[in-house]
Structure 1
Amino acid sequence: MEFLSDSVVLSRMQFALTAIFHILWPVLTTGMGIYLVIVEGLWLKTRNPDYYLHARFWSKFYVLNFGIGVATGIPMEFQFGTNWAPFSEAVGNFFGSVIGFEASWAFMLEAAFLGIMLFGWERVNPAVHYLSTILVAVGANLSTLWILTANSWMQTPAGGEMVNGKFVVNDYFQAMFNPFMANSVLHMFFATLETSLFVIGGISAWYILQKRHPEFFAKSLKIVLAAAIAVAPLQIYIGHLSGEQVYHYQPTKLAAMEAQWESTPAGQPADWSLLAIPNEKAQKNDWEITIPNALGYILEFKQNLSEPVRGLKEWKPEDRPHLVGLIYYAFRVMIAIGFFFAGLMLLTTVQWLRGKLVAKNITQQRWLMLAWVFAAPLGYIAVESGWIVRCVGRQPWTLYGQIRTVDSASRLPASNVLTSLTAFAVVYSLLFIAAMYFGSRIIRRGPNLNLPIPGTEITKPAVDTTPGEFMPDERPVEAQQ
């Protein structure tokens, strides 16, 4: 176990652990913030109390994820100063400011209005409360904007040049709007929204299967489905555009994503590997199923076959990604989940049009509801898989083509990094158990359908309050019967 004495490898493992764990929580808050804006807007428009009760119920999941997201996000960012100090020193004039924008613009906005959103229902004007919900959702999604802007710049650095080991920015806006930025932000935005939609839909389907408030949760499922009709196909299309960009800007990553060792010459569309067993040592696939010419057409080379598709062998081993099998299958898991979501959305839409999602029929759609419950965690797996492809596929570079990962890490004793890695693993495991406990408790308790609705008053009938007589709501049960 030589890696235990390599501080660079251990620092990479620590950052991977904290990043993989942290991303679980903001994925839901960024998407669910938009859902809360939708249901509260519907309540204000229709005054249907169900929409108000939905806003109150789902906000419990929001605050649970927000709290753990904050607790795990701050230590992750601190690592740029502890474990990756040379990288931070080299790129801090741009990368540091963008990370600072995420904290000052996004986190502060979200935190400032979260209290009003959670506790201001009967304390502030409904318009003020709705504005707070909107600003919380905006703050959550601004985090996506700034984090993906920073990470996209690491993938396709622009707007400056390396001078004496430091990146000097000549054009700040060109650095911000680097080639990967737009598609990356959109891809992550729709990933968080899609994940949240299928989590809400999966929980709603569970209640329907249990025949607990089926009419109430049929509403949330229909709202989710209406949004997924647009989100699911858009996410697939934006993912396709991102794949095209990888070919143009990061051909080594594309070769790893497709486990393609040999180059396909210009004028010939590349085959697409459906499944394979990559063998890095032998620089080949031990076994594979391929679809002839498919990769060329996927990448839209049908009208431009003058460009080759380069294989991994074109680069020296130290200049290309390793863990090819991980990159290859993470990419396919992400794609498979995206198409599963689109298929489930299409099937559920058909059933909706057939009238099978009304309260009296929806409890009979057992297999469909089971599919939604099964889909609930898949968005998380797809997001994690996408980040594995994005970051592991970028290796051996931290700043692509400019700064190598081995030169980005702080020179720390391996024992120190191993200690902090172990501590993170223990603490994050406890946090995960706590999150599952409190999340399951929210689900077991279910929504409180007896909450008073703001703006409504219960008028009691006038009665004679002669001493010795009971008020109507104070009589013994026997007397009421």
Structure 2
Amino acid sequence: MDFDPIILARIQFAFTVSFHVIFPAFTIGLSAYVATLEVLWLVTGAERYHRIARFFTKIFAVSFAMGVVSGIVLSYQFGTNWSRFADVAGNVIGPLIGYEVLTAFFLEATFLGIMLFGWNRVPKGLHVFASLAVAFGTATSAFWILSANSWMQFPAGHEVRDGIAYPVDWLQVIFNPTFPLRFAHMVTACYLTTAFVVLAVGARYVVANRYPEDSRTMIRMALGLIAILAPVQAFIGDSHGLVTLQHQPAKIAAIEGHWENEPGAQGVPLVLFAIPNEAAEKNDYQIAIPHLGSVILTHSWDGTFQGLKSFPAEDRPPVAIPFFAFRIMVGIGLLMILIGWAGQFLLWRRRLFDTDWFLKPAQYVWPLGFLAIISGWFVTEVGRQPWVATGILRTVDAISPVHGWAVALTLALFVAVYGIVFSMGIYYINRLIVRGPAGSSIEPPPRDIPPGNRPLAAAGHAARDAIIKPAE
């Protein structure tokens, strides 16, 4: 049986990056949320912020660990499966990844221990500073990774000599044309993802009548962020689409399912639904709104942009994946706006915590952000094809001289190992959620208690907590 190493290597990378991207995205947002809670705790002294921060810090620790493990695998794939890419683009991509380690990962590693284990062991102000540093480090990590990926989308600040890319202007390399809005779009998506997890956890507790003070705080904070950031994300996405149209017109044509500008036709319709037919170069079963595509992408009623037929067949991206993934992403975005505004309306009317039709479904909204991020990532990466670095190196030329059976074997192993490890991680996170914030507020025995008496002291603390806290 013959195995195509190119197809399998692409599937393997898509599989591993799809698992990886959700964890850094979550930790970027969650670290910012924990830091916000700690600042509020420092400023107001309210104990509920302390409890919620400790609770979500444990979830952050598990997610951070899984993100690190899955990220290491991706780095190795550059050498094992995509060595030609490393040869051609390594002079640019390598330093950007190195900067991410030096400025972001080292910062996170320096303060992560204080953030995770410094509760009641270091001064409150130092712990808050450590959490802020970790949050800044995760955002900095996104900065460098998105810069590297954006350079692959539309390279700038380089020159090509003998088929190898060399940087000539690092500012142009880092701040390439597609980077600023791509970075803003991704970081906003990370914050929204975390907000929906917090909303779901809070709704779960309210419905179960557990931790009323903490759960209501979670919901209020999450809905406030969603109501503001979800519409902002729509505006950022629209602006990013205009930049993509300027620098990657074939990607936009695939996203829109736009094949050609018919002679004499005015304006481009917005295709709501269709089944792209690449063999016939048309859409089947199309449902479209006339002129709306022009209004969105050109901001004019009769504006036009290039269709897929304007590009040679070998330079077109696959159409179906970016076409459908984009609509999933946009649909989830609109649902986010609806949820945020509906929740804020109920909160304004002081009916939110008595409204079952909102709270019961809200328990299950936690996957929305993850699905939107994965869909957007597929739009970005598949829409870049057939290039791994646009205009410099095609994907078919970036593959290592590796046998297809070897890639197939490692892909099968990845599926098995990831399925076990990440299922256990998600199970453990769910167990932390079941345990709830109450378990996060039990303080360790004071240091001046002799070791032999510490179990008794811990039991005393537990008994005290059971008396002064509401029963679960």
Counterpart of 2:272 in structure 1 is 274
Q: 1:449 to 1:74 in 2, by over 3 A?
A: closer
Q: Which amino acid aligns with 1:424?
A: F
Q: 1:266 to 1:379 in 2, by over 3 A?
A: farther
Q: Distance in 1 between matches of 2:397 and 2:415?
A: 25
Q: Distance in 2 between matches of 1:403 and 1:450?
A: 51
Deviations 1:372-407 (A, max 9, x none): 223210110000000000000100000112210011
- Ranges in structure 1 where 5+ consecutive residues have no aligned partner: 457-472, 475-481
Q: Which amino acid aligns with 1:317?
A: A
Counterpart of 1:451 in structure 2 is 441
Counterpart of 2:330 in structure 1 is 335
Counterpart of 1:311 in structure 2 is 307
Counterpart of 2:282 in structure 1 is 284
Alignment partner of 1:386 is 2:376: yes
Q: Which amino acid aligns with 1:136?
A: V
Alignment partner of 1:348 is 2:338: no
More helix by share: 2
1:299 to 289, 297, 300: 297
Q: Which amino acid aligns with 1:320?
A: R
Q: TM-score, normalised by structure 1?
A: 0.90
Contact kept in structure 2, 1:41 and 1:130, CA below 8 Å: yes
Q: Distance in 2 between matches of 1:420 and 1:227?
A: 41
Contact kept in structure 1, 2:153 and 2:390, CA below 8 Å: yes
Task: Give the stretch that moved more between structures: 210-219 or 131-140.
Answer: 210-219
Q: 1:56 to 1:63 in 2, by over 3 A?
A: same
Counterpart of 2:198 in structure 1 is 200
Counterpart of 2:454 in structure 1 is none
Counterpart of 1:75 in structure 2 is 73
Counterpart of 2:405 in structure 1 is 415
Contact kept in structure 1, 2:295 and 2:301, CA below 8 Å: no
SS at match of 1:196: helix
| Structure 1 residue 300 displacement after superposition | 3.3
Counterpart of 1:49 in structure 2 is 47
Contact kept in structure 2, 1:341 and 1:375, CA below 8 Å: no
Q: Which amino acid aligns with 2:160?
A: M
Q: 1:452 to 1:374 in 2, by over 3 A?
A: closer
Identity across aligned pairs (percent)? 39
Counterpart of 1:209 in structure 2 is 207
Q: Distance in 2 between matches of 1:328 and 1:274?
A: 10
Q: Distance in 2 between matches of 1:60 and 1:123?
A: 17
Q: Which amino acid aligns with 1:408?
A: A
1:177 to 157, 160, 175: 175
SS at match of 2:437: coil
After superposition, where does 1:92-103 map in structure 2 within 5 Å? 92-103=90-101
Deviations 1:102-155 (A, max 9, x none): 122212211221110111121111111111000111111111111100000001
How many residues were matched structurally?
448
Contact kept in structure 2, 1:30 and 1:140, CA below 8 Å: yes
| Structure 1 residue 267 displacement after superposition | 8.5
Alignment partner of 1:369 is 2:359: yes
Deviations 1:309-336 (A, max 9, x none): 11112222211012x1221110000001
Contact kept in structure 2, 1:264 and 1:311, CA below 8 Å: no
Q: 1:212 to 1:266 in 2, by over 3 A?
A: farther
Q: Distance in 1 between matches of 2:98 and 2:262?
A: 43
| Structure 1 residue 10 displacement after superposition | 1.1
- Ranges in structure 2 where 5+ consecutive residues have no aligned partner: 447-462, 465-472
SS at match of 1:376: coil
Q: TM-score, normalised by structure 2?
A: 0.91
SS at match of 2:156: coil
Q: Distance in 2 between matches of 1:112 and 1:133?
A: 11
SS at match of 2:364: helix
Q: 1:264 to 1:371 in 2, by over 3 A?
A: farther
Deviations 1:262-318 (A, max 9, x none): 22569932111011111111111111101000000001331883xx41111222221
Counterpart of 2:460 in structure 1 is none
Deviations 1:60-109 (A, max 9, x none): 11001001111110111121122111111111111110011112221221
Q: Distance in 2 between matches of 1:447 and 1:252?
A: 49
Q: Distance in 2 between matches of 1:428 and 1:392?
A: 23
Alignment partner of 1:435 is 2:435: no
After superposition, where does 1:145-294 map in structure 2 within 5 Å? 145-263=143-261, 268-294=266-292
Q: Distance in 1 between matches of 2:126 and 2:264?
A: 60
| Structure 1 residue 452 displacement after superposition | 4.9
Q: 1:65 to 1:264 in 2, by over 3 A?
A: farther
Larger Rg: 1
| Structure 1 residue 425 displacement after superposition | 1.0
Q: Distance in 2 between matches of 1:205 and 1:286?
A: 42
Q: Which amino acid aligns with 1:283?
A: E
Q: Which amino acid aligns with 2:161?
A: V
Q: Distance in 1 between matches of 2:300 and 2:392?
A: 33
Contact kept in structure 2, 1:18 and 1:76, CA below 8 Å: yes
Q: Distance in 2 between matches of 1:333 and 1:370?
A: 23
Contact kept in structure 1, 2:266 and 2:302, CA below 8 Å: no
SS at match of 1:290: strand
SS at match of 1:273: strand
Q: Which amino acid aligns with 1:343?
A: L
SS at match of 1:286: strand
Counterpart of 1:398 in structure 2 is 388
Contact kept in structure 2, 1:264 and 1:270, CA below 8 Å: no
Q: Distance in 2 between matches of 1:217 and 1:201?
A: 9
Q: Distance in 2 between matches of 1:80 and 1:7?
A: 14
Q: Which amino acid aligns with 2:349?
A: R
Alignment partner of 1:320 is 2:316: yes
Computed over aligned residues only, the root mean square deviation of the Cα atoms, in angstroms, reads 2.0
Contact kept in structure 2, 1:320 and 1:396, CA below 8 Å: yes
